[in-house]
C-alpha cells in the first residue's frame, strides 16, 4: 500500500522532466528562423524578403507539430505506465536525446530545401525522425512487454491497438526515407502527413480507454 504512491510519484517526476524537455524543444525551434538580410530588405521590401523564406517556416511548423505529437503520444503512454525502473529512465532519456536533436535537422532542411543538396537535407531530416520513432518504439516495447510497467487495469486490446499504430508509423517513416531517393518533396510531404495522422485522435483507442477507465 505504501509502495504505490511512491512509484507513482516516480513516474510523475519522469513525466515532468520529459514535459520540460518537450516544451523547451518546441519553443526553441523558432530561433532557427532568422531575419532576412537588411540589404535585401531595403532592395525588395520586408514582406517580399520574408515570403522568400517559406522553406524555413515550413520546416519550423513541421518540426513543431512532430515534437507536439511526440509529446501527446508520450503523455498517452505515461497515462498507462504506473511503475518506473532504471531501464525506463534510460530508454526515456534516449528518446529525449532524439527529441532535443530535432532543431538541428530542422535547420538543415530549412537551409537546403531549395538547394542542390535537397536530397541529402531531406534524408537527414526524415532519417532522424525515423530514428526517433525507433527510440519511441523501444520505450514502448520495454514498458509493454508482458504489461511490465502498466497498471493491471489496462485492457490488452488497447496495448494491441497502440502497438499496431506505432508499427505503422515506423514503417511509414522508413518509407519516407526511402522515397527520398526518388523524390525529396514527396518524402517531406509524407513525414508532414504522418504528424497530422498521429495527431488525429484514434477513436478506437479512446473508446477502449474510456471503457477501461469506467470499469477500473
Residue 61 in contact with a copy of itself, rule: CB under 8 A:
yes
Residue 181 in contact with a copy of itself, rule: CB under 8 A:
no
The CB-of-96 to a copy of itself minimum distance in angstroms stands at 7
Cβ distance to a copy of itself smaller for residue 54 or 171:
54
Instruction: Identify the bridge partners of residue 150 per DSSP, sorted by sequence position.
Output: 81
The distance from CA 55 to its chain's CA centroid, rounded to whole angstroms, is: 20
Q: Are 112 and 118 in contact (CB under 8 A)?
A: yes
The CB-of-87 to a copy of itself minimum distance in angstroms stands at 7
Site for a copy of itself in 63-102 (CB under 8 A): 64-65, 68, 71-72, 75, 79, 85-87, 89-90, 93, 96-97, 100-101
Nearest to 172 by CA among 160, 190, 188: 190
Among residues 23, 43, 114, 168, the one that binds a copy of itself under rule CB under 8 A: 23
The CB-of-48 to a copy of itself minimum distance in angstroms stands at 9
Give pairs for 167-173: CB < 8 Å, separation 24+: 167/137, 169/133, 169/194, 169/197, 169/198, 170/130, 170/133, 170/134, 170/137, 173/126, 173/129, 173/130, 173/133
Q: Are 122 and 180 in contact (CB under 8 A)?
A: yes
Chain position carrying cell 526517433? 132
Residue 152 in contact with a copy of itself, rule: CB under 8 A:
no
| Site for a copy of itself, rule CB under 8 A | 2-3, 6, 10, 13, 15-17, 19-31, 33, 35, 38, 41-42, 45-47, 50, 61, 64-65, 68, 71-72, 75, 79, 85-87, 89-90, 93, 96-97, 100-101, 103-104, 107-108, 111-112, 116-117, 120-121, 123-124, 199-201, 206, 213-214, 216
Amino acid at each position: 500500500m505504501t509502495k504505490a504512491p511512491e512509484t507513482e510519484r516516480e513516474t510523475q517526476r519522469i513525466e515532468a522532466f520529459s514535459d520540460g524537455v518537450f516544451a523547451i524543444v518546441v519553443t526553441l525551434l523558432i530561433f532557427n528562423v532568422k531575419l532576412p538580410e537588411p540589404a535585401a530588405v531595403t532592395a525588395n521590401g520586408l514582406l517580399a524578403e520574408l515570403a522568400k523564406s517559406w522553406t524555413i517556416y515550413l520546416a519550423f511548423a513541421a518540426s513543431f507539430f512532430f515534437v507536439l505529437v511526440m509529446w501527446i503520444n508520450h503523455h498517452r503512454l505515461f497515462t498507462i505506465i504506473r511503475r518506473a525502473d532504471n531501464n525506463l529512465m534510460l530508454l526515456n532519456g534516449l528518446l529525449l536525446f532524439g527529441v532535443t536533436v530535432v532543431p538541428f535537422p530542422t535547420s538543415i532542411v530549412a537551409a537546403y530545401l531549395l538547394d542542390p543538396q535537397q536530397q541529402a537535407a531531406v534524408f537527414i531530416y526524415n532519417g532522424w525522425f525515423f530514428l526517433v520513432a525507433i527510440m519511441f518504439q523501444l520505450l514502448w516495447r520495454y514498458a509493454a512487454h508482458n504489461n511490465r510497467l502498466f497498471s493491471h487495469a489496462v485492457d490488452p486490446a488497447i496495448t494491441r491497438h497502440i502497438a499496431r499504430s506505432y508499427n505503422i508509423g515506423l514503417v511509414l517513416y522508413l518509407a519516407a526515407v526511402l522515397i527520398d531517393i526518388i523524390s525529396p518533396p514527396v518524402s517531406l510531404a509524407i513525414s508532414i502527413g504522418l504528424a497530422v495522422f498521429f495527431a488525429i485522435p484514434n477513436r478506437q483507442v479512446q473508446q477502449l480507454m474510456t471503457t477501461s477507465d469506467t470499469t477500473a
